[in-house]
Structure formats: structure tokens, C-alpha cells
Structure 1
Amino acid sequence: MKTNNPIIRHVFTSDPTLIEHDGVVYLYTGHDECPVEREEYIMTNWLCFSSRDLVNWVEHPSPLAAKDYTWASGDAFASKIIYYNNLFYFFTAVSHKTIPGKAIGIAVSERPTGPFFDAKGAALITGDMLPVEAGEKANLDPSVIIDDDGRAFIFWGNGRCLYSQLSEDLLELKGEIKQISLPEFNEGSHVYKRNGNYYLMYGYGTPERVAYAMSESIYGPWKFMGLVNELAGNCETNRPATLDISEKSYFFYHNGGLKDGGSHRRSVCMDYLHYNNDGTIKKVMMTSEGIEPVSI
């Protein structure tokens, strides 16, 4: 039996985000660099891989490092990729040099493999912009959705789920920052729309499983629907991503399944994602064999 999980096996990867473009799927991940003799998060850049069948992946040069933002100190956290107005926008969480706490930046490229460049020369979201007092990690794990009417929204957070509308060029917050009340919300927001339903997945509790909520509107109310998957092996965190290709749905996550792996040396995996007739999600069966090759 062939083992396809984790899908990247020569380097530690985390926090997947991905996009399909011109018949190719591009996967962007965090890069866990912590040596085996230590246990702490050490991440300074992001990695990029591409595939034409979701099983065989080609590595590309790192598309972005945290210090490519002149205002960032060098720590790299979860990201989100979108394609909008013929450009690729890469929303990334980093540590700010001068404003306390984490911040969210935007990098842009004309090519999916980059290189990406700072789109505005400053952070999109910083700790001093939040409407309520929050912790040092409040601005983590951005997720961006372009709604059917062209409006863009960003969701993010650690300890509490925040969201706001974005300007038409995606470079500013257009609306006020609001909070969504979700059970056991820790981090790892992933928002998307499918068949008229809005979905908000997130890291649930500690250690993190993945749970989700559904809504008929991007503004809510959001109804908690339960768990998407249980604890991923040998890892205390998770950050989900999803993809619909060739009439099938796929669930991306990370675990600590590689040799010397763990919470600080994670690895991206993928398995099938199934929906019920009413749009609710069936719990994901995490496997070592992964999926069969796909014709994209």
C-alpha cells in the first residue's frame, strides 16, 4: 500500500493554503525549521509546491520570507493565498518590529510561484488596531474570501475570531473589526463558500482539533456544527484548508507524522472531504495512504 501522507516528506511543512490556477494546484506552507534537539516554533519563510495530480508535488524556491517585509522582525506564521484582479495576493502573519504583537501583511506577485513583494510597505493589521484588548498573538492565521458580489473579507485571530471587510484593492480594512463567538476557538481560521453556504473552519481547543460553523451570510449568524477531524497525530496545532477539484473535495491539515516530527516539526497531509446532502460536513477520516491521483 502506497503512503501519500504526509504529502511533503523531505522538509517540515505546516499551515497549508492553496489555489488552483490554469490546471495546476499550488500549495503554500509554513516552514518548520526547529532542530530536533529543541522544542519551539522557528519559522522564517514560506514554501511553495505545485502539482498536476495532487499526489506528485514539485518544490519551487521560497516565494517569500518574513524579513521581505521591512517592518517585520522575521517570524513567519500561517498564510492565505488568493487570486484577484490578475494578481496573486499572499496574506501572511508575522511579528512586527515596532508595534507590539503579531501583524498581518500582504505580498503580491504576477506569478503563483512568486517571488512575492510587499504590496503596501506597511502592515494591513497591527495589534493597536484591535477594538478590544487582545494578547500578543491576536493577529494570526489570516483567511480571505472574495464573495460573489466582489466584496472581500478577512478572518483571523488567536483566542478570539475576528473579521472585517477589505477595500476594493485589498490593501486596507474597509469596515470595522468585529468578533465572532465560536466554541473553543483557538486559531487557524479558514473561511470559504460552497453551494450557497458559508463555512468557517478553525482550530478547536488545545490540543487542537478542527471544528466548523456554517452561515447563510458572511456577516453571520454562524452556527456551530461540530468537528471536522480529531487530533492529528503527534501535533498540538492544526490549520485546515480545503479544495474542490474534478467534482471531489479535499481536506488539508498538518500532523507530526514524519521521523523526528512533532508540534514544532509538522507535515502537511490531505484526505478526502465529504458533505451531506444538506451541506454539513462528514467527519474526515485521516489516513496514511491519502488520496488517489486526480486529473486536474
Structure 2
Amino acid sequence: MRNALLVALLALVGYLPVGAQNPIIRDVFTADPAPLVYHDTLFLYTGHDTASVKETNYKMPDWRIYSTTDLEHWKDYGTRLSPRIFAWATGDAYAAQCVYHKGKFYWFVSTFHKKDDRSQGGAAIGVAVSDRPTGPFRDAIGKALIVNEMTKDKPHAWDDIDPTVFIDDDKQAYLYWGNLSCRWVKLKDNLTELAGPITVLNIKNYIEGPWVYKRKKLYYLVYASAGTKPEMIEYCTAPSATGPWTYRGIIQGNVPNSFTTHPGIVDYKGKSYFFYHNGALPTGGNYRRSICVDYLTYNPDGTIKPIVQTSQGVAPVK
């Protein structure tokens, strides 16, 4: 409780109105940030909220891409992928992440599956591929990688969302995902086939939005938590990509004007950055969210310091 109060206080103190750069994208509503560093450029893959002010559910027709080399000026590539590119898909463009592997870019996405001979519907995970970080992207395998029938530990139909892919130092790739249940599976080297059984993790307060990465010798699993409503961000650490995972606590409190938040973490030009979304723009809200970025810092033992949410954002880099 004390940790939660500290995080909430830091968020309120840090959110100042003067000199605002957060949210970083202001002409459209964006959500579910997924940063990727390729060469000297930071690419940001996002969802796209288009619900009206009066609507009470998500309306997310596509995914967008932005890039920067200084964390101040962002190049807008517009819509670069939508569920329409997947013949098996129907529904909205939920959280996604793009990773680079052996000369290609693989964009793992979550959407919904049509009723057919492979699935009776529900959330599913697909993979798009491109030779360039900004596309064009195509369906990598012509079918969903994960369908609802493959995961039965939760009864609801939207449990297979929010994929994140981590590629370890030995080049073994892992896929993590899930709503109300965190799951992982090894991927084959082509990133389009499963290389083992699906494992369900017992993660404290987990609800959705996992993000997995490694720093020095420690592995991090960061996620949106269900300990309170609205969501906060909590995390675990482990000595390997498969665990065992040790719960470490809350690092981000509630965000302004949105009951969801979603982590995206990257190192770039000597600093660590924490991307997330809130509803802080004018007319923003739960279904009209906007991506922000603030600093991520560590204690000497590798644990993460509480995120200070600010409207100033981060300083430009050369």
C-alpha cells in the first residue's frame, strides 16, 4: 500500500501543465505503444483510437508507425497495417509489437478471428512481416499464430491479446501474451511457428499488456495490473526468460483520464525510456487515448524506480 501511494503521489506531482510535450502525438489518438530501436532511429508502433467522445467502447481500425532520432520531432508514417490485411481476421486492431530478426521486421498483432474451420471466433494473434521497419507489411503465414481454442485456462473470448516478443542473447525467441492470464511459448527461428507447449504463468495482479526485456543479467516482465481499477503498471524479474518470476511491485500509478495503461520500454542513446498512454488530450478519455514517454531509472540492484509521469516529457537527445 505504501508503495502504491508513493507511485500515485509522484504521478500527481510530476504532471505539470507548463512546457508540455506529453502526450507526444497530438493530431490523432494513439494507444498501446511499442518502441523499437533500429540503427540510429527509434520507431514507435501504435494502436489508433477513433471512438467518438460519446462512444463507450473501443474503435481501433488500424496500427500506425512513427519515428524519431531525437525524441523531440516525430515523423508520422500514418496507417501501416490493419486487420483487413489478414484474411482470417475481423474486429479491432488491439495491442501489437514489432521486432527485428534476421533482416526482417515481424509485427505481432492482436485482433479477432472469423468463425471458420480453424476457430469459432474470439481474440487471436497474427504476424505480419516486412523487409523494412515501416512496411509494407503482409500476413506472414496466412493464418493466426494463436487462436482462442489453443488456450482454455480462461473462459472469456478475448484472453489472447497483447503479444510481446523477446529474443534472448542465444537468439531463442519467446512470445508472451494474454488478458487475465499471462502465457508464454517458445517460437521457432522463423518467428511464425510455435516451438513448444504454451505455459501459463502465475503472476500477481496480472491483467494484460506484458512487455519482456533483459537488462544486464536480469529479465523483466512488466504488465498492466488488476490490483486496482484503473490499471497500474507492476513488474516481476527472473534469472531467465522462462522464470521463475519474482514479484517486485508497482512502478506506475493510475494515468490521467484513462482506466487502462500499457508499457513499452526501450534503451536509446544512453537512457531508458518508458512509453505508456493516458487520456490527457482535450476530448481524450478511456477510448480516446494518447501516447506519452518519460524516463525509466533503476536502483543499483536492478529494481525499477517509480515512474514519474510528467507533461514535459523527456529532453531531446542528439
Tell me the TM-score normalised to structure 1 length.
0.98
2:47–2:94 CA contact under 8 A, matched in 1: yes
CA drift of 1:62 comes to 1.2
Looking at structure 2, the residues matched to 51 and 134 of structure 1 have their Cα atoms a distance apart, in angstroms, of 41
Q: Are 1:85 and 2:102 matched, yes or no?
A: yes
1:256–1:265 CA contact under 8 A, matched in 2: yes
2:154–2:181 CA contact under 8 A, matched in 1: no
- Superposed CA deviations along residues 140-197 of structure 1, whole A, max 9, x for unmatched, are 1000000111110000000010000001101111111111111111100101111111
SS at match of 1:134: coil
Q: Which residue number in structure 2 is paired with residue 153 of structure 1?
A: 174
CA drift of 1:133 comes to 4.4
Looking at structure 1, the residues matched to 75 and 154 of structure 2 have their Cα atoms a distance apart, in angstroms, of 43
Q: Are 1:232 and 2:252 matched, yes or no?
A: no
Amino acid across the alignment from 2:267: D
1:88–1:109 CA contact under 8 A, matched in 2: yes
Amino acid across the alignment from 1:86: G
Between 55-64 and 26-35, report the one with greater CA deviation.
55-64
Q: How many correspondences in the alignment?
A: 295
Amino acid across the alignment from 1:95: F
- Superposed CA deviations along residues 7-61 of structure 1, whole A, max 9, x for unmatched, are 0001000000011112111101000010112121001100111111112111003
CA drift of 1:135 comes to 1.6
1:131–1:177 CA contact under 8 A, matched in 2: no
Looking at structure 2, the residues matched to 17 and 133 of structure 1 have their Cα atoms a distance apart, in angstroms, of 26
Q: Which residue number in structure 1 is paired with residue 266 of structure 2?
A: 243
Q: Are 1:255 and 2:278 matched, yes or no?
A: yes
Q: Which residue number in structure 1 is paired with residue 243 of structure 2?
A: 220
CA drift of 1:130 comes to 1.4
Q: Which residue number in structure 1 is paired with residue 39 of structure 2?
A: 22
Q: Are 1:294 and 2:317 matched, yes or no?
A: yes
CA RMSD of aligned residues (A): 1.0
Looking at structure 1, the residues matched to 25 and 154 of structure 2 have their Cα atoms a distance apart, in angstroms, of 38
Looking at structure 2, the residues matched to 264 and 285 of structure 1 have their Cα atoms a distance apart, in angstroms, of 23
Tell me the TM-score normalised to structure 2 length.
0.91
Looking at structure 1, the residues matched to 185 and 55 of structure 2 have their Cα atoms a distance apart, in angstroms, of 37
Looking at structure 2, the residues matched to 239 and 165 of structure 1 have their Cα atoms a distance apart, in angstroms, of 23
Looking at structure 1, the residues matched to 257 and 78 of structure 2 have their Cα atoms a distance apart, in angstroms, of 28
Correspondence for 1:47 among 57, 64, 67: 64
Correspondence for 2:292 among 269, 286, 293: 269
Correspondence for 2:188 among 167, 175, 178: 167
Structure showing greater relative contact order (alpha-carbon pairs closer than 8 Å, 6 or more residues apart): 2
SS at match of 1:67: helix
Amino acid across the alignment from 1:231: N
Q: Structure 1 regions of 5+ residues with no counterpart? A: none
Which segments of structure 1 move beyond 2 Å, counting only runs of 4 or more?
A: 131-134
